[in-house]
Amino acid sequence: MDLNALFELQFVMFAEMIAGYLLCRFKVIKPSDRSVLSKLVVNLLLPCSIIASFQMEMNSEILKNFIGIFVISVLIQILCSLIASFAYNRYEHDRKAVLQFSTVCSNAGFLGNAVAQGVYGDLGLLYGQIYLIPLRIVMWSAGVAYFEKKQDGGKGSVMKSILTHPCIIALEIGLVIMIFQIPVPKAIGTLLSGLGKCSTPLIMLFLGMVMAQVGFKGLFTKDTWCFALIRLFLIPAAVLGMCMILHAEPIVTGLSVLLAAMPAGSTTAVLAQQYHADEEFAANVVVMTTLLSIALLPVWVLVLNAIL
């Protein structure tokens, strides 16, 4: 992994996040406008980026890594679910639900796409989509259940939410294109690639807007520090150990660790508001872990470069 490339990526991402923060602080845009950015990224830009990343030749090595990263991702979700079940029992339900959801559902599907592509290129983005399948399944099933004592809709509605997610649909389209080597017209490929490249700047603008709305009061508390230790250090450290035991390929190990070291998912604050949980605490957890993750990613890269 190229550490210089990661530093350049971090500088750009941090500058984009500050731009979103300043635009809100100077009232050029409203914090509530971030819902538009979120819908744009999730429903158009990320799917375009995902489909574009699959425009490569399928081979046995890619297939092997697909299986490897999927298995590791399933094990990661089991680990995170166990942590969520036992680590936060001393908290009241409103705060406990936030911590549980943030443990099993990181920002690997939002910020993680930018990091995966920035560090490993299109191949990293491609593998990242396989990594995200178990995470999205847990997110829309057990994850939502943390916020409500009895989940409505049953298994059918959960599966519908997963299968109709724009990024899952894009994943299915991309797999068909790569497996059957379907030629994509140059103009369409350029369009998909161009739209996909817009996702990272808008993701960082979105996070900056969240930071502007929340502010800095309440970011660094005992509870947020304890959660950050679990989310940004203990979980990726356990994933690294798991990958070493399983003798995973270097790119699978590196990508799994970096995606496991992602901050709390921005969806946490949205669901906390929807289910009347501790919304302010949820926003603080998202912003605080996002800021810390930017600082810690180079450390994880150094560790991975020393080991792999």
Candidate from 54-68, 88-102, 225-239 with smallest mean pLDDT: 54-68
pLDDT digits (tens, 9 = 90+) for 28-39: 988 778 778 878
Q: What percent of the chain has pLDDT over 70?
A: 93
Please give the pLDDT value at position 156: 57
List the structure tokens of 222: 């005992």
For the full predicted model, state whether its pTM sits above 0.85.
no
Determine contact, residues 63/213, Cβ cutoff 8 Å.
no
pLDDT, greater one: 212 or 68? 68
pLDDT digits (tens, 9 = 90+) for 201-250: 887 788 788 778 777 777 889 999 999 999 999 999 999 999 999 999 99
Backbone angles phi, psi at 264, to 5 degrees: -60, 140
Tokens 């068909």 locate to 176
pLDDT, greater one: 294 or 81? 81
Full 3-state SS string of 146-157: CCCCCCCCHHHH
CA separation for the pair 259, 256 (Å, rounded): 5
pLDDT, greater one: 152 or 186? 186
Please give the pLDDT value at position 150: 41
Check whether 153 has a pLDDT greater than 60. Answer: no
In the chain, where the domains are located: 3-307
Domain 3-307: state its class. Answer: mainly alpha
Determine contact, residues 178/56, Cβ cutoff 8 Å.
yes
C-alpha angle with apex 133: 140 to 178, nearest 5 degrees?
140
Over residues 179-192, the mean pLDDT reads 90
- Identify which of 179, 205, 195, 53 has the alpha carbon closest to the alpha carbon of residue 118: 53
Please give the pLDDT value at position 162: 61
pLDDT digits (tens, 9 = 90+) for 193-203: 899 888 778 87
Number of other residues whose CB lies within 10 A of the CB of residue 140: 19
